[in-house]
Amino acid sequence: MQNKKKSAIIKTMDKYNTKPPAGTRDFLARDVRFRKQIFNIIEKVFASFGFEPLETPAFERIETLMDKYGSEGEKLIFKILKRGEKAKSGEVDLALRYDLTVPMARVIAEYSNKLPKIYKRYQIQPVWRADRPGKSRYREFYQCDIDITGTNSLMADSEVILALIEVLEKLGINEFTVKLNSRKILTGLIEVLNIPKNLEDFVLVSLDKLDKIGIEGITKELQGKGIASEVVQSLLQQNRDSVKKILTTSTKGLEGLQEVQEIQDLIGDKRIIFDPFLARGLAYYTGSIFEIVSGKIKGSIAGGGRYDNLVGMFSKKNIPACGGSLGVERILLLAREPQGLFKNIEILATVWDKTFRKSSIALSNKLRDKGFIVETYLENDKFNKQLTYASKKEIPFVLICGPDEKAKNKITVKNMKTGKQITIYEKEVVNFFSFPALDTQPQPIL
Amino acid sequence: MQNKKKSAIIKTMDKYNTKPPAGTRDFLARDVRFRKQIFNIIEKVFASFGFEPLETPAFERIETLMDKYGSEGEKLIFKILKRGEKAKSGEVDLALRYDLTVPMARVIAEYSNKLPKIYKRYQIQPVWRADRPGKSRYREFYQCDIDITGTNSLMADSEVILALIEVLEKLGINEFTVKLNSRKILTGLIEVLNIPKNLEDFVLVSLDKLDKIGIEGITKELQGKGIASEVVQSLLQQNRDSVKKILTTSTKGLEGLQEVQEIQDLIGDKRIIFDPFLARGLAYYTGSIFEIVSGKIKGSIAGGGRYDNLVGMFSKKNIPACGGSLGVERILLLAREPQGLFKNIEILATVWDKTFRKSSIALSNKLRDKGFIVETYLENDKFNKQLTYASKKEIPFVLICGPDEKAKNKITVKNMKTGKQITIYEKEVVNFFSFPALDTQPQPIL
């Protein structure tokens, strides 16, 4: 009884809860414009490398997403109930997109005849994860992926990193480090240090937490798995140079070192540094791995690597692949605001009285056609109220056409900053505002 | 047993079904680019009127969407299962966006302090409806809405129609008719023809089907509700002029006629015609209603009207509103392809052999920085294969740097159309390709 009452109250409250659902956001004008401009910059860079855009549906068949993200990941998938009579069963048949890689793998299998052998695609779309919402942790957030499938050339690994670097620079983010490693180096280390092969994945997941739990935490975790403390120590005291030395006995390890060296050489950017402990938690990486970090923000702002055994999952054949993901939501916090973003209304066409409404609409539209952002005053208010409105909204120019102007086919243009006004022939108005384009800020002529 | 077997087989088949879910689409490069350009044109027009963009989350609380779309609409809502332990109960707490109006009403209630009194917003986002998929009927499709809330001025009704007309023209769609009517005219007609008030909604829904079921069908439906055949006849034989005559005795009807007349006058576009039978099924309209039809496509390509009692639903106050919705998915079928859309790769940087990889990457990137779309050949293939690749992909220019060029710090540029080639200093390459911007098609100089 008590419970019933409580749930009834909560229901009533919910009815008037007008916030967006937990972990999601409404984007009002300023945010939409800012995000869109940032996405446009990113897309332009990817396109300049010849990456093609791809968009997939918000939901996939439940079977497409199951058994892809591990048990922890799977718990976070938003599942969609069957419709109609079947809804009562509580069964689901669809689920919201959890990442952009699985949909890409499906697309590659489905359109193999249409897509080039080496398929370079970018995809910028929201994904949904039922994570506990928190500060900059959302349940609906954009991912931004580039991938090159169909080649195992290190040129591809290099191009992915280079494209991400170019994006960061175009966004005005110059201070960052690209940590580069290879899963082969980690495998080699585990081999030469005689860590049991079956613990490899565990060790990688543990190393991935270095930033969070520190050397002590990792030591504890690895010893907990029965790895001798000397072994743990000799693993954790490695550095760039010592790794190069001890890996001389591991074919796999040497291969990894060679790869890292080549990628560094090919890109030739000093911000790329070899980090033998970079692990990246995901088990599916097979070659190079990287993460881009910026001092200004916690965690990485981009990451990726080579994963040769994943993209073929729906195609039933091996498709080598490498790619990277840009942490766009984080980057939006770092990026400088693009210029000319917050287009204000440029001109307000006032309406003298009801009989002037039609001419005011027509004049506004003539100016819009030439690329101006023009608001026609909609309500039947006194002239002074219309001027106050323009002031408040910081609209730089106001058009006035009263009986005096009308009689002479003229229009008064008022500069709201200077207060100056000038009366000109109506047919001259368009020329008077000689702005070249919608994107340009108005240049006061008065 | 039989059933179990069958379902097991279906499950296995599903596992390899790589098509997008029923009623949804994958958009490969060409489609993404085309749609994006069309959306950009639409947004630019709306912005030129001072409409602001809005984006809301893909899902809303289930309570936000319930009891808003009628029982038929509600069946089509995609509902999201609760997560974790609660998933087993089959209960839902979220649902995918079904339209853009309810989210806007929620936003207006939530941010009333931030938004202007007269709020003009546009919103272009996908919605999801579990309709039976069919030819151009999708379960995931974009809606494109503009609305003006907070004023009951007919200037607003006019502006909505005008903005939609402007969009169509900018998209190259000039042949269309705007059918205009007012719910008040329909109410007046029902009043003067002595049709029982309680059948008003039924009559409107029936009239809305005129195109589909014809006069006969409507006659049958109305008579079925007990409306006398003379009454049905006198309703259906009305035309523009007769309606104006018989409505002289209805205050409401006269008000509607006056409104239609004013909107026509204010916009002054001959393509706007008064259609006394235009009903628009939705019960929530209170004033002007309109639909835009084009001979080239069945059904309407836009529609809308005034609905003064809806937007305030979450704000607990009356908020007058009018708006329109552009059938973007249909319009995409009608719109002419924007120019300069299908940007091909402009330049292929070949790679002579492994030792030339680094310089090829660096040269490519220098050109990208100047706005060119440059592909670096990724694989370790023979030179002829690289040239064939450029031919096949119709890449107009190829850069070649072999040992001869290298020794002299030069690069060979090959025009793939003419077959001509020229060898220039490497530092001159950027100037050689004197294209002004990424969007410009390359002008062969060779």
Summarised one tens digit per residue, pLDDT across range A75-105 is 999 999 999 888 888 899 999 999 999 999 9
As a whole number of angstroms, the distance between CA B344 and CA B439 comes to 10
As a whole number of angstroms, the distance between CA B8 and CA B5 comes to 5
Higher pLDDT pick, B50 / A340: B50
Token pair in block for residue A24 = 């999601």
User: Nearest 5°: phi and psi at B274?
Assistant: -75, 125
Say yes or no: A92 and A239 in one domain: yes
Q: List the single best residue of B36, B48, B102, B108 to mutate versus A (max A Cβ within 10 A).
A: B48
A379/B153 touch (CB, cutoff 8 Å), yes or no: yes
Minimal CA–CA distance to B17: which of A148, A62, A86?
Answer: A62
In a domain, B98, yes or no: yes
| Tens-place pLDDT, residues B329-357 | 999 887 776 666 566 788 999 999 999 99
Question: What is the CATH classification number for the domain harbouring A352?
Answer: 3.40.50.800
A58/B106 touch (CB, cutoff 8 Å), yes or no: no
| Tens-place pLDDT, residues B73-110 | 899 999 999 998 888 888 999 999 999 999 999 999 99
| Tens-place pLDDT, residues B165-212 | 999 999 989 899 999 999 999 999 999 998 988 888 888 888 888 888
| Look-up of token digits 């520190």 | A214
Say yes or no: B309 and B375 in one domain: no
As a whole number of angstroms, the distance between CA A152 and CA A156 comes to 7
CA–CA–CA angle B343, B347, B350 (5° rounding): 140
In a domain, A321, yes or no: yes
pLDDT band, very low/low/confident/very high, at A210 (cuts 50, 70, 90): confident
As a whole number of angstroms, the distance between CA B48 and CA A369 comes to 9
* Domain boundary, last residue among B313, B334, B355: B334
B28/A111 touch (CB, cutoff 8 Å), yes or no: yes
Say yes or no: B403 and B292 in one domain: no
Q: What does the pLDDT average to over B239-251? A: 92
Q: What does the pLDDT average to over A47-57? A: 96
Q: Are the C-beta atoms of B400 and B412 separated by less than 8 Å? A: yes
Give residue A282's pLDDT. Answer: 66
Q: Cα distance from B283 to chain A (closest Cα, Å)?
A: 22
Higher pLDDT pick, A263 / A206: A263
As a whole number of angstroms, the distance between CA B420 and CA B438 comes to 24
* Domain boundary, last residue among A307, A334, A361: A334
Of B44, B53, B361, the CB nearest to A32: B53
Say yes or no: A257 and A303 in one domain: yes
Q: Are the C-beta atoms of B139 and B23 separated by less than 8 Å? A: yes
Cβ contacts of B337 within 8 Å, gap of 6 or more: B34
Q: Cα distance from B56 to chain A (closest Cα, Å)?
A: 5
- Between A12-26, B32-46, B120-134, B154-168, the lowest mean confidence (pLDDT) is in A12-26
ipTM: 0.89
In a domain, A325, yes or no: yes
> Over 90: is that where the pLDDT of B8 sits?
no
CA distances from B258 to A353, B185, B280 (A): 18, 10, 19
Q: Is B434 exposed, middle or buried (0-12, 13-18, 19+ CB in 10 A)?
A: exposed
* Domain boundary, last residue among B285, B301, B334: B334
Say yes or no: A75 and A214 in one domain: yes
Q: What does the pLDDT average to over A296-320? A: 90
In a domain, B12, yes or no: no
Say yes or no: B382 and B311 in one domain: no
Q: Total structural domains in chain A?
A: 2
> Over 70: is that where the pLDDT of B441 sits?
no
> Over 80: is that where the pLDDT of B12 sits?
no
What 3-state class would DSSP assign to A289? strand
Chain centre distance of CA A203? 30
CB atoms within 10 A of CB A339: 9
Cβ contacts of B44 within 8 Å, gap of 6 or more: A438, B170
As a whole number of angstroms, the distance between CA B184 and CA B308 comes to 13
In a domain, B438, yes or no: no
Query: What string of DSSP letters covers B11-44?
Result: HHHHHT--SPPTT---B-HHHHHHHHHHHHHHHH
Q: Are the C-beta atoms of A422 and A413 separated by less than 8 Å? A: yes
Strand segments, DSSP code E, in A105-210 are 119-128, 140-149, 177-182
Token pair in block for residue B109 = 């209630």
B378/A118 touch (CB, cutoff 8 Å), yes or no: yes
Q: Are the C-beta atoms of B80 and B99 separated by less than 8 Å? A: no
Give residue A3's pLDDT. Answer: 45
- Between A69-73, A397-401, B48-52, B370-374, the lowest mean confidence (pLDDT) is in A69-73
What 3-state class would DSSP assign to B380? coil
> Over 80: is that where the pLDDT of B373 sits?
yes
Torsion angle of C-alpha atoms B145, B150, B153, B159, degrees rounded to 10: -30
Q: Cα distance from B373 to chain A (closest Cα, Å)?
A: 4
Strand segments, DSSP code E, in B225-349 are 272-274, 288-293, 300-306, 321-326, 347-349
As a whole number of angstroms, the distance between CA A186 and CA A180 comes to 12
CA–CA–CA angle B294, B297, B301 (5° rounding): 60
Higher pLDDT pick, A129 / A296: A129
Say yes or no: B128 and B258 in one domain: yes
> Over 70: is that where the pLDDT of A15 sits?
no
As a whole number of angstroms, the distance between CA B136 and CA B133 comes to 8
Dihedral sign of CA atoms B236, B237, B239, B244 in order: negative
Question: What is the CATH classification number for the domain harbouring A131?
Answer: 3.30.930.10
- Domain containing A372 equals 347-432
Chain B residue closest in CA terms to A29? B53
Token pair in block for residue A415 = 């500069």
Give residue A8's pLDDT. Answer: 46
Q: Are the C-beta atoms of A152 and A211 separated by less than 8 Å? A: no
Q: What does the pLDDT average to over A195-223? A: 87
In a domain, A200, yes or no: yes
Say yes or no: B288 and B352 in one domain: no
Say yes or no: A195 and A141 in one domain: yes
A159/B75 touch (CB, cutoff 8 Å), yes or no: no
In single-letter form, the type of residue at position A72 comes to E
- Beta partners for residue A52, in sequence order: A121
Q: Are the C-beta atoms of A320 and A337 separated by less than 8 Å? A: no
In a domain, B14, yes or no: no
pLDDT band, very low/low/confident/very high, at A228 (cuts 50, 70, 90): confident
Say yes or no: A285 and A406 in one domain: no
> Over 90: is that where the pLDDT of A9 sits?
no
pLDDT band, very low/low/confident/very high, at B434 (cuts 50, 70, 90): low
Say yes or no: A174 and A240 in one domain: yes
Token pair in block for residue B395 = 């890449």
Say yes or no: B380 and B282 in one domain: no
Helices (H), B337-402: 357-369, 383-392
% of chain A with per-residue pLDDT over 70 = 92
> Over 80: is that where the pLDDT of B442 sits?
no
Q: What does the pLDDT average to over A328-340? A: 78
% of chain A with per-residue pLDDT over 90 = 67
> Over 60: is that where the pLDDT of B296 sits?
yes
In a domain, B437, yes or no: no
Mean residue pLDDT across chain A:
89
pLDDT band, very low/low/confident/very high, at B443 (cuts 50, 70, 90): very low
% of chain B with per-residue pLDDT over 90 = 67
pLDDT band, very low/low/confident/very high, at A58 (cuts 50, 70, 90): very high
Chain centre distance of CA B243? 35
